[in-house]
Amino acid sequence: AQTVTQSQPEMSVQEAETVTLSCTYDTSESDYYLFWYKQPPSRQMILVIRQEAYKQQNATENRFSVNFQKAAKSFSLKISDSQLGDAAMYFCAYRWRGNYGQNFVFGPGTRLSVLP
């Protein structure tokens, strides 16, 4: 069974600084998707970034970028120039491409605080 681990339950970063959230996953599959979702205090789940496993190039989305290491099964999220609005729970998620009946697997989340 696939699992997703986020080893940092909580992290903090100074405003305008850079922070990296870690995510590792366990799978025997080679074709899958990885995602980072953000859940601010408003409770809304927001997609931050998506990575296809077959793509070697790391995905980027404005201040958000990932470091995808397929062999190591690692998928970290880097937030540059942190802003107060980045404070939220961040969830890493995995989805195998092969079977519609398989679900998304979410990690336990990392709570990010941004200090002014």
Partner 1 sequence: DTAVSQTPKYLVTQMGNDKSIKCEQNLGHDTMYWYKQDSKKFLKIMFSYNNKELIINETVPNRFSPKSPDKAHLNLHINSLELGDSAVYFCASSFNPLYEQYFGPGTRLTVT
Minimum distance, C-beta of residue 16 to partner 1, in the bound complex (Å): 27
Return the number of other C-beta atoms located less than 10 Å from residue 83's C-beta. Answer: 12
Minimum distance, C-beta of residue 88 to partner 1, in the bound complex (Å): 11
Q: Which is nearer to partner 1, 101 or 116 (CB)?
A: 101
Minimum distance, C-beta of residue 52 to partner 1, in the bound complex (Å): 10
With a CB cutoff of 8 Å and minimum separation 6, the contacts of 14 are 82, 114, 115
Q: Which is nearer to partner 1, 16 or 47 (CB)?
A: 47
Q: Contact residues for partner 1 (CB under 8 A)? A: 33, 35, 37, 39, 42-47, 50, 89, 91, 95, 97, 100-104, 106, 108-109
